[in-house]
Amino acid sequence: MKIPFGYAQDDLGAITINQEQAIVVSLIYDLYLQGKSLGGIVNELKEQSILSPTGQPIWGRATIDDILSNGKYAPHIISDDSFWQAQFEKERRSNTNNNKTRKTARYNSQNVLSGLLICGECGRNYRRITRPSGEVVWRCADRVEKGKRAACSNRVTVSDEEIRKIICEQLGWAAFNEATIADAVESVEISGEGISIQMKNSMAFGTLTM
C-alpha cells in the first residue's frame, strides 16, 4: 500500500502523520483556496525551497492535483470543510474552462435531486459533489463554497445512494423513479435533526433521524 505524502508508517505498521509533510499539504490547500492555480502553487513551493515527494526542487502539477483530490487528508491533516471547499473550487474552475453555462444547464436537467434537496439550517440548496473515489454525495452549498467562513452550521453530508433510499422508505415506494419524484416531491429538507419531505399536494412526511 502506497502511503500518501503527509503520512508515514512506523516500525509496527501503523500509519502516522508526518508533521513536516502535513504542513506542506495544508499550505497547498491554503494556496489553492486563496486562488492560486496549480502552476502558481508550483512556483510558490519552488520559491520556498520545498522539495517534492520524490525530492525534486520542482513539483509536478499532477502531484499537486492528486493532493487536492485525496480525501484521506481530511480530517486528520486538513479540515473536512477545507477538503470540500477545494473540491467545489476544482469543479468551479473546471466548469469555467468548459463553458460554465452549458455544463450547468446539462447538470441541472439531468439530476432530479438538484434543486429538491434543501438545507434545513440556512435554506440553500444541497450541492452534488463527486468524491475522488467516485462516490456521489450531497452537502450544503454554503458549507461547500465557504468552508469555515460559512454562516450555516449544517455539517450533514449524505450520499446519493442513501438519500434516494431514504426518500423511497419515507414515501413507501419500492424503487426510486425520477419522473415520479419530479411530479410529486416539492422539497427534501436535510438538517442535523434528520430528513423531512414536503409533497406538492402539501402533505408533509415526518422527519427521519439519520
70 and 140 fall within a common domain: no
177 and 115 fall within a common domain: yes
Task: Note whether 138 and 160 are within 8 A (CB).
Answer: yes
User: What is the domain range of residue 108?
Assistant: 99-210
Residue 36 burial class via C-beta count within 10 angstroms: exposed 0-12, middle 13-18, buried 19 and up: middle
pLDDT at position 98 is 61
Measured in whole angstroms, how far is the alpha carbon of residue 109 from the centre of its chain? 21
Helix (H, G, I), strand (E, B) or coil at 125: strand
pLDDT at position 183 is 85
60 and 103 fall within a common domain: no
**Whether pTM exceeds 0.75:** no
pLDDT in tens, 154-175: 989 999 999 999 988 888 888 8
136 and 200 fall within a common domain: yes
| Pairwise CA distance, residues 34 & 29, whole Å | 9
Q: Is 135 a domain residue?
A: yes
What is the domain count for the chain?
2
| Pairwise CA distance, residues 113 & 95, whole Å | 20
Instruction: Walk along the chain (210 residues) and give the pLDDT tens digit of each residue.
Output: 689 999 999 888 899 999 999 999 999 999 999 999 999 999 999 999 999 999 999 999 999 999 999 989 998 999 988 898 898 888 888 777 665 444 433 333 357 898 889 999 999 999 988 877 778 899 999 888 888 788 898 989 999 999 999 988 888 888 888 888 888 888 899 998 888 888 887 655 554 544
